[in-house]
């Protein structure tokens, strides 16, 4: 019987405004207080950088954590537009998503860069949520497990001590924001593969989240699979009742 605590993290992406965040977060806090599911599941939201202070102010007395959607591999210096782990920590972030497929696709982030970001996060006391996932074409070519292995290779090469401070997220690119969800069986196959790689790396009990059009309606069947420890949620994390519905699942 696994002792891995469930984890549901919202990824707001580039959405929100001060007014919308205020409404969403205060609704979430109210729902959390009413639901009292927080013993079972750990919750967090990853907001755009400019809103981290607002998020911290609203969530500081709640059980909901928060984090950034990326973090620089560098500590400081001439890296225009980047945000360091130290800066995230100053705003109380416990989490940083690294290697999201949108960063890999639109910002050319390689798996080596993602591994360095994960290492920087750990060094700064923040838990990286390291995302991996195959494209539709890679899946159709039968390459899913090889793609996942190669994306994880530099990350797992950081060593057991580092890997034990990470959360991984399997996010098939074809399921992100598309309304398509991997079936629980498709997801479990990849999660089991990731679990075996984690075991080889000396960290078999790290949590592995699923992400890709998770909704309240499909969360329970995904979470029923033995190697799925929670979810990284995009679109549905922008609606308090939807996000809470996933947490309840
Ligand atoms: C994501 O951005 O990590 C994600 C899983 O998005 P969505 O839930 O909208 O597919």
Q: How does pLDDT run across 192-235, given as a tens digit for each residue?
A: 999 999 999 999 999 999 999 999 999 999 999 999 999 999 99
Percentage of the chain with pLDDT > 70?
98
CA distance linking residue 208 with residue 6, whole number of Å:
10
CA distance linking residue 235 with residue 82, whole number of Å:
24
For residue 97, the domain's CATH number is: 3.20.20.70
Active site residue 191: no
Query: Is 1 a domain residue?
Result: no
Q: Is the CB of 213 under 6 A from ligand 1?
A: yes
From the CA of 237, give the closest atom in ligand 1: 8
Residue that has been written with the tokens 């949520």 in this structure:
129
Q: Which tokens go with 30?
A: 């109210």
Of all protein residues, the one whose alpha carbon is nearest to atom 3 of ligand 1 is 234
Is pLDDT of 33 > 70?
yes
C-alpha distances in Å from residue 2, one per residue of 6, 191, 193, 227? 11, 14, 17, 9
Q: 238 and 12 in contact (C-beta within 8 Å)?
A: yes
Contacts of 244 (CB under 8 A, 6+ apart): 28, 31, 32, 35
Distance of CA 38 from the midpoint of ligand 1 (Å): 22
Distance of CA 211 from the midpoint of ligand 1 (Å): 6
Distance of CA 236 from the midpoint of ligand 1 (Å): 8
Task: Look up the domain containing 15 and give its range.
Answer: 6-248
CB count within 10 Å of CB 1 equals: 2
Of all protein residues, the one whose alpha carbon is nearest to atom 7 of ligand 1 is 234
Query: Is 182 a domain residue?
Result: yes
Structure confidence at residue 34 as a pLDDT band (50, 70, 90): confident
Please state the rounded mean pLDDT for residues 150-179: 97
Percentage of the chain with pLDDT > 90?
93
Query: Is 38 a domain residue?
Result: yes
DSSP for residue 158: T
Tell me: the pLDDT tens digits for 58-112? 999 999 999 999 999 999 999 999 999 999 999 999 999 999 999 999 999 999 9
Of all protein residues, the one whose alpha carbon is nearest to atom 4 of ligand 1 is 234
Task: Specify the pTM.
Answer: 0.97
Query: Is 228 a domain residue?
Result: yes
* Active-site residue, from 100, 102, 109, 193: 100
Active site residue 74: no
* Active-site residue, from 42, 102, 109, 171: 171
Q: Is the CB of 171 under 6 A from ligand 1?
A: yes
- The count of domains in the chain is 1
Query: Is 79 a domain residue?
Result: yes
Distance of CA 11 from the midpoint of ligand 1 (Å): 7
Please state the rounded mean pLDDT for residues 18-38: 87
């Amino acid at each position: 019987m696994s002792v891995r605590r469930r984890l549901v993290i919202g990824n707001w992406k580039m959405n929100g405004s001060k007014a919308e965040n205020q409404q969403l977060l205060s609704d979430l806090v109210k729902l959390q207080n009413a639901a009292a599911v927080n013993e079972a599941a750990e919750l967090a939201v990853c907001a755009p950088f400019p809103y981290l202070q607002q998020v911290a102010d609203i969530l500081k007395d709640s059980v909901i954590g928060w984090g950034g959607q990326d973090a620089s591999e560098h500590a400081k210096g001439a890296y225009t537009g980047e945000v360091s782990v130290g800066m995230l920590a100053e705003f109380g972030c416990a989490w940083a998503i690294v290697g999201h497929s949108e960063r890999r696709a639109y910002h050319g982030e390689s798996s080596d860069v993602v591994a360095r970001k994960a290492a920087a996060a750990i060094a700064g006391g923040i838990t990286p949520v390291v995302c991996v996932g195959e494209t539709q074409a890679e899946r159709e070519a039968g390459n899913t497990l090889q793609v996942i292995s190669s994306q994880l290779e530099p990350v797992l090469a950081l060593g057991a001590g580092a890997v034990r401070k990470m959360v991984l997220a399997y996010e098939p690119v074809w399921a992100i924001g598309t309304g398509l969800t991997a079936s629980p069986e498709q997801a479990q196959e990849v999660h089991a593969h990731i679990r075996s790689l984690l075991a080889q790396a000396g960290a078999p009990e790290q949590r592995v989240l699923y992400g890709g059009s998770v909704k309240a309606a499909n969360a329970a069947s995904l979470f029923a699979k033995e190697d799925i420890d929670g979810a990284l949620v995009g679109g549905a994390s922008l609606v308090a009742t939807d996000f809470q519905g996933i947490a309840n699942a």
